[in-house]
Amino acid sequence: MRKILSLSLILFHLSLSMAFAVTKADADALYEKEQYRDAAEAYETLMKQGGVASEVYYNLGNCYYKLDEIPLAVLNYERAFLLDPGDADIRANLALARGKTIDKVVPPSEMFFVTWWRDLTNCMSINAWTILGVSAFILMLLGVLVYIFMSQLTVRKIGVYGAMVMLMIVIIANLAAVSQYADLSHRNTAIIMAPAVTVKSSPSETSTDLFLIHEGSKVEILDASMQDWMEVKFEEGKQGWVPVNTLEVI
């Protein structure tokens, strides 16, 4: 009897959860009706239910952009970009949102190959790089088999040269996938959420004021060991300490 009662309670709770579950279609419908606040809440609920995806973050960013809540728009576009850096729409909307922030940052110059590698790594998602790497590996094996078993010299040359090209693609795809996985696993960037934050020279309210930073700015987290403070570095190279409650990790 107790087992039957327990099973009934479990089924009851499951039915309630299903009844009140939010789907992406529900949130999309609210967005299409221009009910952006309700749509944002629906997307937030969807993510709490385990619906985290680049499309959800992107749509949530669109909602906040329409509501003129730029820091939240930047935050969610950045999260979408982290999951799918090759998406052109995410890139474009992130640039639009960052263009509406107060602080216009000019990143320090870097070596051309660093920029080239970052752009190459971010041209596709980690899933796309993985698929490319596996496909290239299979083609590389086929090229090796062609070289071993075919008798015609021209065909054998095509096989060995093709295998070498595929090997290079396998290496690049694996390095790019590992790089993106590291970014996803070690979230060391954040967005300033407070309207204005005074950056300090040390983790104390009485320490020296260094400069002022405004909402929507992106920072790199250098030290998160303190309970109430974080040491951060800004894209233009300056660094200092800010209260933990003034930023949100991407």
Q: Which residue has the higher pLDDT, 21 or 15?
A: 21
* Residue 82 Cα to chain centre, angstroms: 2
Q: Are residues 124 and 168 in the same domain?
A: yes
pLDDT (tens digit, 9 = 90+) per residue, 190-243? 999 999 999 999 999 999 999 999 999 999 999 999 999 999 998 778 899 999
Q: Does residue 58 carry a pLDDT above 90?
A: yes
Domain boundary among 36, 70, 99: 99
Which phi and psi angles does 103 have, rounded to 5°? -80, 115
Q: Tell me the DSSP string of the chain.
A: -HHHHHHHHHHHHHHHHHHH---HHHHHHHHHTT-HHHHHHHHHHHHHTT---HHHHHHHHHHHHHTT-HHHHHHHHHHHHHH-TT-HHHHHHHHHHHHTSS----PPP--HHHHHHHHHHTTS-HHHHHHHHHHHHHHHHHHHHHHHH---HHHHHHHHHHHHHHHHHHHHHHHHHHHHHHHHHS--EEEE-SSEEEEESSSSTTSPEEEEEETT-EEEEEE--SSSEEEEEETTS-EEEEEGGGEEE-
Tell me if 4 is assigned to some domain. no
Residues 138, 84, single domain; the answer is no
pLDDT the model gives residue 21 = 65
Q: Does 106 fall in a domain?
A: no
On whether residue 227 sits in a domain, the answer given is yes
Domain that residue 181 falls in: 112-185
Q: What is the CATH number of the domain that holds 69?
A: 1.25.40.10
Q: How does the average pLDDT of the chain come out, rounded?
A: 88
Residue 55: CB atoms within 10 A of its CB come to: 17
Q: Which residue has the tokens 């002022």?
A: 212
The answer to the question of residue 39 being in a domain is yes
Domain for residue 238, yes or no? yes
Query: Does 50 score more than 90 pLDDT?
Result: no
- Residue 43: pLDDT above 70? yes
Judged by average pLDDT, the poorest of 9-23, 60-74, 203-217 is: 9-23
User: To the nearest whole percent, how much of the chain has pLDDT over 90?
Assistant: 68
Structural domain count, the chain: 3
